[in-house]
Every structure is written in structure tokens, then in C-alpha cells.
Amino acid sequence: MTAAPVFVPTPARMAPTRSGMGAALRQDSALKHCTGEARFADDMPEPAGLLHAALVLSPMAHGVLAPLDLSPARAMPGVVAVLGPGDVPGRNDISPSGKAAEKLFAEGLVEHWGQPLALVVARTRDAALAAAAALRPAIDPLPPVLDVGQALAAESLLMPPMVMTRGDWQAALAAAPVALEGEFRCGGQEHFYLEGQIAIAIPGEDGEMLLHSSTQHPTEVQHIASRVLGCDYNRVSVSCRRMGGGFGGKESNASWIGAATALAARATGLPVKLRLARRADMAATGKRHPFLFRWRAGCDAAGRLLALDATLAADGGHSLDLSGGVLMRAVTHALNACDVPAVRVTGLACKTNTVSNTAFRGFGGPQGVLLMEDVLHAASRATGRSVEALREHNFAGGPNGAVTPYGQVLEGDLIRRVWAETRTLAGWDARRADIDAFNASHPTLRRGLGSFVLAFGISFGVVAMNQAGALVNVYTDGSIRLNHGGTEMGQGLFIKVAQVVAEVFGVEVERIRITATSTDEVPNTSPTAASTGSDLNGWAAHAAARAIRARMAAAAAVLWGVPEEEIAFADGRATAGNHAMTFGELAQHCWNQRISLSATGFYKTPDLSWDPVAMKGHPFFYFSYGASVAEVLVDRLTGEHRVLRADMVQDCGRSLNPAIDLGQIEGAFVQGMGWLTCEELWWDAAGRLRTLGPSTYKIPGSRDVPPVFNVKLLENAPARAETIFRSKAVGEPPLMLATAVWNALRDATGAARLDLPATPERVLNALQARPGEG
């Protein structure tokens, strides 16, 4: 039996006292989730005549595909339609970037196991699945490339190399007193959103198509569906009230699911639902990119890094998808919070015969920031100084350079502050001594302590994507309807944006009706991704609400004969001196005066620039900082391990909602820990993914959470950039704080190399590779 978990009380978790900025309000649907009333796409009442679709997936990783004989499926009971590449009225093209040939259904060539070949539509889901299984694709096999190292050796790339340089790195490497080098790998990661991919398409008149899609990017679902159907964007409407988790997996992947569903509805003229079973979801949708790292570096005798030449080879899978963006973020984050004067970092997107890898929380950042950790460990072994001493010695800013190789300035004071506060929170020095004593006394177990410090750039790497829109309507009873381009996947975006609007109008957040994201209401949106949801949509909603408030203030000023700037909106009322009326009364007054109570708002992030060829510019609006310490316990006999404690400080600026931010930090840390420890994707020699469900792909469970888990939001640190109410993004950065667990495992094992995920097997190998152990 296990001792009860111990938690340090968290100051952020206080009872909500007010509705506006900084209030620790709950996720808007929290109670509905708990009662089962919150409707996900598959819970919606089914429209009359609904058909069900099932994908036909490739049984082979690589080969020449003969035109698929669809007749066996057409002959099966209940089957209404079987659709292949020849049945696409528009283009058989689902490329999110529009820069690559990426097909909805394979034609001529199969490039990964689990690749969609066709779609069966039937009266029941079981009939569709049975008919899909009845098809026998004829594929002439070709040898598959399954490993990034193999692809690298063959120079099989999806796009030209991405090279970021600064200074004379070759000369600096040659001149450095201490030469270092290393190679390591990290694995991919399945998103494992609890709700699998799903879309429901309902055909309307004049070629209209309504799609209920579990998507982070309704606009892209609209675009790709329109491209496949061969129709104008204005015929396709996409709506999403909530997702059962996204994590990047419902960015580009939701788009082709939606497009396939729309195709089936167009072909049959009836509503169609496509819900992927877990195995099909894990076979056919992309994952986090595995990476192979090779690097050389030079430092002085004290461990100050002088030069670095690193290659980051990402396994992009069989097609480009979003690999360009992932690689850009990995390369720009390769130095993380450290400064190295002379650098070359080369990013390669390798092509393999696996599912096309895609966005996943951190988007290349989590892989990129691993590099310096490996360099610091090597420097520690070479110099005899601790990793932490070297980390501090090489922090950007202070006595070292503060400018990144691509030209942006890091805030050295915040880097040092999050680390100092974390070190104190963790009680580093005393615990280091305790751990050393334990390790000297136990015959089979070892403890280890590790640290990590993060500087993570916030903004989409593609400048144009840094825009957002919102639509706010005030009704004459003073109730407010809010819509914006951001989507809710559980991260609490809807409540945060509602808080922004509540703050502007000075009303309780309950007055605001949160509504489903819809391409009909706010068009041409960006995905909810890159941690930018509340930054972008918060400002857009703010602009819309401010526009209406200004009109309402003007009306009140005329009514009361006072200057507009004296009108205050607070506590559900508008006031000026002795004048007061409720917000609803003022709304009614505005209607009487024929004043519009509806407005759109728009926001674009200022001061962004990026030259993708020179790899220079100002791609990030600001940086988010964080630091962490983790302690692990390792079994030298079996490699089993456990995180005993984690301490972290995350910079959220002036938090919009500390309860939501705390939840993001804790959840991201555990998800990152899963990526780095227990979550392993395993392909067999034929290129079939064999970890296709939670019985074989192990995400963390409750017992894996550190029993002591201290999370602090950095205090008194409003964002220096002009962010919404001086808050900072929080979705992705804390995932990387789990890197401290890797470092703790390296400390416990003493291994020079520990590839990821650090499963018990890899940890045991690392222990046994150590001289004098095992």
C-alpha cells in the first residue's frame, strides 16, 4: 500500500473572489465535465440518416501500390460508398503548408504503414469497419527506411537544411582548450488525447457543408475540406465547442480527418461521422518528431563554452507536414538559456517510412533544448565542475552575451532569477548531501538530482500566423456573447478570454456566454497552438470589447452630461460621479439610441520579423522563463526508476488566471516526464507500429507523479512586452521543465549517454555501461 501523496499547499489555488484579471476561476466546463453533461463531438445527438465512415489503412510501410480494387468492400452488407483517390472531386492534397505533395489517399506509392488508402461509408460503424478490413491492397514492397540515422546516412531529406551560424565557429572550435563531443537520441511521442480524432459532416443546400470537428485549427479544416471538395471556402463551415485534448495532435491531423468526412458526406448526400478507433488513430496520425543529435563543442578549463557545432536531425516521417516549423523552433532553441559565442546549428528534416510527424506541445522546442544539457554534462565530465556550476557559468546575459545567434535578446536577469528561486525552493545544497549519503549506504538503489533552466520564445514561427479575431455581442439585458478564433482543448482558453472581456466591461464572468469556435463567426483564424491562444485571442477580444465599451461610454456621457473619460465600468455598473446604472440598463439605453452593441476585434503581434534563409530576425514577441529540479530513485539491478520530487518556478508574467496556469504547468511537466521516461513508440522490422493503444504505449499514471511536487509561479514579474494585461503564455514551456528528470537520471546512473525515453531498459543499460557497475 502506498503512503498518501504529499503536496505543499499552492498559493495559487484560492477561492475565486472576483471575475476579472488574475482571478483563479475554474475551467468554464469543469462541473459539466464531472456530471457527464459536457458534449464532445461523439456525444452530440446524431442527425437523421447518419452514416459512419472507416479508413482503409496501408498494411505495408513502403511499396508500389496498384489501383485499389474497391469492389469487395462495396459488396459488403450496409456499405453505401467506398471512396478512393479517384473519387476526390477537388484535389487529393492535404498539405497544411501547401508546399508539399501530401495526399488524403495514397496513389501509386505507399510510404508508411497505416497510411490512408480509401474510405468506406456504411450504415453502421461496424459495417464500415468490416468492409474496410475486407479490402486487400496490392502493394509491391520496397525496402522501408525506418530510422532517422538511416535516413541521415542516405541524405534522405524532406526540405533543404536549416543552418544558423554566428561567428567563426570553426576557428573557435579549433582554438578551444577543451574539446567535447557527443551523440544522443530522443524518441517521438504519441499525443494520446483521450478523445480520438473525430469529425461529423452534414451536407446542406447549394454545396454547403457543416463540419463538427475536434480541431485546434477550424480554418485549416475549412481550407483542406474545400480543397478536397473543390469548392469555395464560403461553402464550408467548421465548428468546435471543445476537444477532449489536443496537444498539437489536432492541428494538421484534424484537417484531413475533417476533409475525408466532408468527402463522404458529399459523395452520399447524407451526414457522416468519422471517428477513429484508438488503434487507427495511433497508426494514421502523426506524432512528436524523434531526433538524433550530433555535436562538437569547445570550452575553457573552467567550462565556459566557446564554440559549438551541432546537427539536429529530426525524423519527419514520410512527408513534410509541419516539420519546417518544428525544425525552426528546435534550431532557435538549441542554445536555450545559455550563451555560446561561436555557433553553427544545422537542422535536418529527415524522411523515413513512418507516419508524418507533426505538431506536439513545444513544437521542436523540447527536442532543441536537450542539446545544451548533453553539452553541459560533457563539459562537467571534462572539467570536474558540476553541471549546475557550468549552467550558471554559461547563462546568457550578465557577463556573457545576451543575444541569441538569430539576433534576439534574452533577459539574463530573469534566467538567473528563476534558477535562483528554484534552487532555493528545492533546497538543493542540503539535498545533494543527503543523496550522496544515501547512495553510499544502499546496496541496490541510487538517487539522483537534476536541474534545468528554460528560455522559450513565444509566437508562431510564421509571422503571418500571429493574428487573431474576435466577435463580441452585447444584448439589451446586458448579457454578453463572446466568440473568438481560439479553440478549447481543456487548457482553459475560453475562461481566460472571458475574463478579459469581463474586465473590460466590469461585469461578472457569468454574464458572458462562451460559444463554440466557428469559421462562420470569426474567419481566417490561426490554429490554437504555439502557446499563443490567450495572447492573441485575449487581445482580439479586448479590442472588440473596448470598441463596444467606448460606444457605451459615449452614450452614458451624453446622457449624464459628463466627459466620456469619467465613465467607469465596474461591479456590473456604469458610473460617473453620482450617476449610475446597471450594465444592462446602459445596454438597453444604447439600443434606444440606435448604437451598435456588436463589434469585431483584431490583433496582430507587433515587431515580428524572420528571414528563414539567413536564420536571423525577431521571430518571438517575448520569452517565457522557467527552472526546475527533480530527484529520482533508480534501481541498479533492474533499471526501474521513479521521480521522488520536483520543484519548479515558471514565469507566467502577471498571470491571467493562476489556477489555470498552475494546471498547465503541472500537466505539461507530467506529459514531458512521460515523453522522457515511459512513453516509447516501437516499430517492428517491417515498419509496423506495435504500440497502438494504452496497453502497449504507457503514458504516466497517477503514481508516476512526483509525491512531492512544488510549483511556483514567478511573482512580481509582469511581462515586459505589451502582452494582454502583462501576462505570459504557459501552454508549452513547462513541458520542457521535465528535462530535469533526464538530468537526474544521468546523475543517478553516472552514464555519459542516456538516450530517451529513459525506460528501465535504457537506464539499466546506462548503469551497466558504467565501469565497475552491474
Q: Which of 225, 396, 597, 670 binds another protein (CB under 8 A)?
A: 670
Cα-Cα-Cα-Cα dihedral sign, residues 317, 265, 263, 115: positive
**What is the rounded CA–CA span in Å between residue 138 and residue 154?**
27
Could you give the string, one character per residue 527-566, with x where binding to another protein holds by CB under 8 A and - elsewhere?
A: ----------------------------------------
Residue 420 is a binding residue for another protein (CB under 8 A): no
Please say which residue, 46 or 564, places its beta carbon nearer to another protein: 46
Per-residue three-class SS string for 365-384: HHHHCHHHHHHHHHHHHHHC
272-275 and 51-57 strand pairing: parallel
Please say which residue, 242 or 329, places its beta carbon nearer to another protein: 242
> Which of 326, 472, 374, 501 lies closest to 755 in space, CA to CA?
374
- Look-up of cell digits 489555488: 13
Residue 74 is a binding residue for another protein (CB under 8 A): no
Q: DSSP letter string over 605-661?
A: -SS-EEETTTTEEE--SEEEEEEEEEEEEEETTT--EEEEEEEEEE--BS-S-HHHH
Please say which residue, 317 or 490, places its beta carbon nearer to another protein: 490
In whole angstroms, the minimum distance from the beta carbon of 690 to another protein comes to 5
In whole angstroms, the minimum distance from the beta carbon of 632 to another protein comes to 8
In whole angstroms, the minimum distance from the beta carbon of 682 to another protein comes to 4
In whole angstroms, the minimum distance from the beta carbon of 331 to another protein comes to 28
Q: Which of 635, 721, 726, 750 binds another protein (CB under 8 A)?
A: 635
Which listed range, 28-36, 216-224, 225-233, 509-517, lies at the site for another protein (CB under 8 A)? 28-36
Could you give the string, one character per residue 246-265, with x where binding to another protein holds by CB under 8 A and - elsewhere?
A: xx------------------
Residue 508 is a binding residue for another protein (CB under 8 A): no
CB 607 within 8 A of CB 618: yes
Residue 593 is a binding residue for another protein (CB under 8 A): no
Residue 640 is a binding residue for another protein (CB under 8 A): yes
Residue 666 is a binding residue for another protein (CB under 8 A): yes
Which listed range, 258-266, 610-618, 622-630, 753-761, lies at the site for another protein (CB under 8 A)? 753-761
Residue 642 is a binding residue for another protein (CB under 8 A): yes
Q: Which of 18, 33, 431, 618 binds another protein (CB under 8 A)?
A: 33
In whole angstroms, the minimum distance from the beta carbon of 588 to another protein comes to 33
CB 178 within 8 A of CB 304: no
Please say which residue, 503 or 680, places its beta carbon nearer to another protein: 680
Residue 301 is a binding residue for another protein (CB under 8 A): no
Please say which residue, 15 or 430, places its beta carbon nearer to another protein: 15
Can you read off the three cell numbers belonging to residue 484?
Answer: 473568438
CB 171 within 8 A of CB 269: no
In whole angstroms, the minimum distance from the beta carbon of 44 to another protein comes to 9
Which listed range, 150-158, 329-337, 544-552, 675-683, lies at the site for another protein (CB under 8 A)? 675-683
Which listed range, 124-132, 266-274, 410-418, 451-459, lies at the site for another protein (CB under 8 A)? 124-132
**What is the rounded CA–CA span in Å between residue 414 and residue 30?**
34
Total residues binding another protein (CB under 8 A) = 93
Cα-Cα-Cα-Cα dihedral sign, residues 538, 542, 543, 545: positive
CB 477 within 8 A of CB 588: yes
CB 492 within 8 A of CB 27: yes
In whole angstroms, the minimum distance from the beta carbon of 413 to another protein comes to 29
Residue 764 is a binding residue for another protein (CB under 8 A): yes
The residue from 411, 521, 679, 732 that is catalytic is 732
Which listed range, 105-113, 490-498, 556-564, 595-603, lies at the site for another protein (CB under 8 A)? 490-498
In whole angstroms, the minimum distance from the beta carbon of 285 to another protein comes to 15
Please say which residue, 178 or 678, places its beta carbon nearer to another protein: 678
**What is the rounded CA–CA span in Å between residue 348 and residue 143?**
22
Angle between helices 533-560 and 493-505 (to 10 degrees): 20
> What is the DSSP code (8-state) at residue 395?
B
Q: Which of 347, 397, 538, 639 binds another protein (CB under 8 A)?
A: 639
Give the Cβ contact number of residue 697 at 10 Å.
21
Please say which residue, 195 or 373, places its beta carbon nearer to another protein: 195
Which listed range, 533-541, 595-603, 622-630, 756-764, lies at the site for another protein (CB under 8 A)? 756-764
Residue 218 is a binding residue for another protein (CB under 8 A): no
Q: Which of 17, 444, 578, 716 binds another protein (CB under 8 A)?
A: 444
Q: Which of 19, 459, 466, 491 binds another protein (CB under 8 A)?
A: 491
Largest CA distance in the chain: 87
Residue 77 is a binding residue for another protein (CB under 8 A): no
In whole angstroms, the minimum distance from the beta carbon of 315 to another protein comes to 18
Please say which residue, 426 or 553, places its beta carbon nearer to another protein: 426
**What is the rounded CA–CA span in Å between residue 98 and residue 120?**
27
Residue length of the chain: 774
> What is the DSSP code (8-state) at residue 513?
E
Site for another protein in 692-751 (CB under 8 A): 693-696, 698-705, 709
CB 364 within 8 A of CB 329: yes
In whole angstroms, the minimum distance from the beta carbon of 73 to another protein comes to 15
Give the side-chain half-sphere CA count within 13 A for 104.
Answer: 33
Q: How far is CA 697 from CA 278, 401, 595, 690, 738, in A?
A: 11, 42, 57, 9, 19
Q: Which helix (H) or strand (E) holds 334?
A: none
- Specify which residues 527 forms β-bridges with: none
Q: Which of 391, 616, 641, 712 binds another protein (CB under 8 A)?
A: 641
Computed on alpha carbons and rounded to an integer, the radius of gyration of the chain in Å comes to 27
Please say which residue, 3 or 433, places its beta carbon nearer to another protein: 3
**What is the rounded CA–CA span in Å between residue 347 and residue 722?**
32
Residue 357 is a binding residue for another protein (CB under 8 A): no
Please say which residue, 415 or 756, places its beta carbon nearer to another protein: 756
Helix/strand/coil for 238: strand
Q: DSSP letter string over 220-237?
A: HHHHHHHHHHT--GGGEE
In whole angstroms, the minimum distance from the beta carbon of 482 to another protein comes to 20
Is 732 catalytic? The answer is yes
Q: Which of 69, 126, 413, 611 binds another protein (CB under 8 A)?
A: 126
Q: Which residues contact 647 (CB under 8 A, 6 or more apart)?
A: 422, 425, 426, 628, 629, 630, 710
Could you give the string, one character per residue 34-73, with x where binding to another protein holds by CB under 8 A and - elsewhere?
A: xxxxxxx-xx--x---------------------------
End-to-end CA distance of the chain: 30
- Specify which residues 281 forms β-bridges with: none
Kindly list the catalytic residues: 732
